[in-house]
Amino acid sequence: MKILVPIKRVPDPQTNIAVRPDGTGIVTDNVKFVINPFCEIALEESLRIKEAQGEGEVVLVSIGGKECQEQLRTGLAMGADRAILVVTDGPLDPARAAEVLAKLVAQESPNLVFLGKQAIDDDANQTGQLLAAMLDWPQATFASKVVIGDDKKSVTVTREVDGGLETVAFDLPGIITSDLRLNEPRYASLPGIMKARKKELKEVPLAETGVSAEPKVKQVKIEPPPKRQGGRKVETVQELVNLLHTEAKLI
Ligand code: AMP
């Protein structure tokens, strides 16, 4: 099976993010960037599928600046076979990212595209769904369990939905997006890191894909959340109840 895994470079979720004073984005100086955690989970699951089958190919894709090479090399060190970097300087919204991925699907003909359910920078949660619509492929989002059929032509996916779990099945090719509880991603081993240096990382300028760099949705402004007010200690339960009533207006 050939699995295409789109991975996005995002700020480390452990990093304290500061918004630029002009509201055009976040301050990126001294910010560590990593593979989007949900993409890492999608990659881990794809590697497990390949290992269980004893054959196949896991191909990484990232769309962004040259700096995305770093995350692609990490993914190769985890065990992916090769990587494609679609190079663009400006921000791409999920619709444009999905258009680029649709072009790559046409070239690569994967059996499965395994994405993260969302990128933790913009929290869009759109790319997998848009890609499925563009390709007219079946999709299972928010996957917490993935079982490939014995014939390798179908898949059964357990999805995390409000209030429980839903199990769906479809014939491949198709789209899956990973949820948090699907697996625990591995760390890249030292031999993996050494091997990754020799693996193919192909760069393709965005213009070559024929997809416009003009975002369909423009980010107008980013604002930090209001500063949290300090807490207050109360002496009695009655005082707390009164405050909940008069100030918080919760009761
Ligand atoms: P989003 O719809 O932006 O929340 O992203 C959902 C998923 O789409 C991510 O977890 C990635 O798998 C994929 N994706 C989105 N943007 C990119 C990008 N620029 N490069 C590679 N993959 C992406």
pLDDT of 65 reads 97
pLDDT of 160 reads 93
pLDDT of 226 reads 87
pLDDT of 241 reads 94
State how far the Cα of 107 lies from the Cα of 47, in Å rounded to an integer: 21
The four Cα atoms 73, 115, 123, 165 give a dihedral, to 10 degrees, of -140
Residue with CA nearest ligand 1 atom 6: 118
> How does DSSP assign the chain, residue by residue?
-EEEEE--EEE-TTSPP-B-TTSSSB--TT--EEE-HHHHHHHHHHHHHHHHHT--EEEEEEEE-GGGHHHHHHHHHHT-SEEEEEE-SS---HHHHHHHHHHHHHHH--SEEEEES--TTT----HHHHHHHHHT--EEEEEEEEEE-TTSSEEEEEEEETTEEEEEEEESSEEEEE-GGG--PPPPPHHHHHHHTTS-EEEEEHHHHT--SS-SS------PPPPPPPP---SSHHHHHHHHHHTS---
Report how far ligand 1's centroid is from the alpha carbon of 113 (Å): 12
Residue with CA nearest ligand 1 atom 8: 127
- If one residue of 36, 40, 59 were mutated to test the ligand 1 pocket, choosing by the most ligand atoms within 8 A of its CB, it would be 36
pLDDT of 50 reads 98
State how far the Cα of 242 lies from the Cα of 141, in Å rounded to an integer: 45
* Ligand 1 pocket check for 36: Cβ under 6 Å: yes
* Ligand 1 pocket check for 115: Cβ under 6 Å: yes
pLDDT of 45 reads 98
pLDDT of 40 reads 98
Which residue is listed with tokens 């390798």?
A: 152
Closest CA to 61 of 117, 131, 113: 113
Report how far ligand 1's centroid is from the alpha carbon of 228 (Å): 31
Domain spans, the chain: 2-225
pLDDT by 10s per residue, the chain, length 251: 999 999 999 999 998 889 999 988 999 999 999 999 999 999 999 999 999 999 999 999 999 999 999 999 999 999 999 999 999 998 889 999 999 999 999 999 999 999 999 999 999 999 999 999 999 999 999 999 999 999 999 999 999 999 899 999 999 999 999 999 999 999 999 999 999 999 999 999 999 999 999 989 988 999 988 888 888 899 999 999 999 999 878 77
Q: Which two tokens stand for residue 48?
A: 């497990």
pLDDT of 250 reads 79
Report how far ligand 1's centroid is from the alpha carbon of 10 (Å): 10
State how far the Cα of 5 lies from the Cα of 35, in Å rounded to an integer: 12
pLDDT of 27 reads 93
pLDDT of 207 reads 96
Pick the CATH number of 2-225 from 3.40.50.300, 3.30.1360.120, 3.40.50.2300, 3.40.50.620: 3.40.50.620
Report how far ligand 1's centroid is from the alpha carbon of 163 (Å): 26
pLDDT of 249 reads 81
